[in-house]
Amino acid sequence: MKSTDFLSIRDVSRDEILELFRIALDMKADRSKYADALKGKSLAMIFEKPSLRTRTTFDIGIQQLGGYSLYLSPAEISLGKRESVHDVAKNLERMVQGIMIRTFSHQIVVDMAKHASIPIINGLTDYSHPCQAMAEFLTLHEAKGELKGLKLTYVGDGNNVAHSLMFAGARLGVDVTVACPKGFEPNVKAYEDAMADAKETGAKIEVVYDPFEGVKGADAVYTDVWASMGQEAEAAERKKVFRPFQVNEELMAAANKDAIFMHCLPAHRGDEVTDGVIDAPTSVVFQEAENRLHAQKAIMYELMK
């Protein structure tokens, strides 16, 4: 990888993404080959937002590579409040060999990378979720083979996950359709950046307002919660707005017959997805969750070796 950090899918080229997939699948097939790859190296994990999958996959992942992790909660670090991002970066770069951050503001991750001399990995911000997108497209590759020319439809809020799916699709030549209610479109700059990148691969990036129109021809149908962390006060109102965008059996039937269902989890069953869809044989949600481990191990290996 040319970049020394992993802040966005846009930091890596198509060839670099495919190489990370190759490494991830190699690690998945034989964990022992990389058991000492990061022997003695440490990863600081800064969590301003909690997570089952991010915490577990980074913690276990660095250990499976021979290293170890340090969990830092808001009680230890309140970035930009208790201590400046600059000072946190300058402290940690002398103590650990890599930093993973799961936080709210994307600018915090950008500033951390600016000030720290060690690799920074974006574990999630309100703007993007690149590690999740890596796991999604790794899973799509396992399920469908060649990625170029496939269509993935994201149904729901045009949030950080939608942004990273657009970025990855644009890089890999996968058409990405975001089907959302009016007023809940992806960030304008994120959409424009994805459109610019898509010119190189021929991918089609679009936003539509009818979920049934969106899933036509889809090889994968993807959704996320209607109210993310920090939006709890809006949850009741969002339910009303997003109810027509529920991924249910009727909507899945409008996609390709062999379309898979994807979700970054946690899922609010009965809201954005029905039990009949998430528990169907075509659902790959737990395969995606596992692939967070393998994709992130590949990223840590490339940045910290």
Of the candidates 129, 163, 171, 294, the residue annotated as catalytic is 129
Residue 264 catalytic? yes
Of the candidates 102, 141, 171, 238, the residue annotated as catalytic is 102
Of the candidates 97, 224, 294, 296, the residue annotated as catalytic is 224
Residue 26 catalytic? no
Of the candidates 5, 180, 263, 264, the residue annotated as catalytic is 264
Residue 292 catalytic? yes
Of the candidates 132, 171, 175, 296, the residue annotated as catalytic is 132
CA 243 to chain centre: 24
> Residue 187, by phi and psi: left (phi above 0), alpha (psi -120 to 50) or beta?
beta
Query: For 232-241, which contacts have Cβ atoms below 8 Å and span 24 or more sequence positions?
Result: 238/157, 239/271, 241/181, 241/184
Tokens 């997939």 label which residue? 21
Tokens 């060839």 label which residue? 15
Residue 129 catalytic? yes
- The closest alpha carbon to 133, from 302, 264, 278, 266, belongs to 264
CA dist., res. 14 & res. 167, Å (int): 11
Provide, for the chain, the percentages of residues in helix, strand and coil under a 3-state DSSP scheme, each rounded to the nearest 5.
45, 15, 35
Residue 238 catalytic? no
Six token digits for residue 113: 């990378």
Residue 141 catalytic? no
- The closest alpha carbon to 174, from 193, 191, 150, 145, belongs to 150
Catalytically active residues are 102, 129, 132, 224, 264, 292
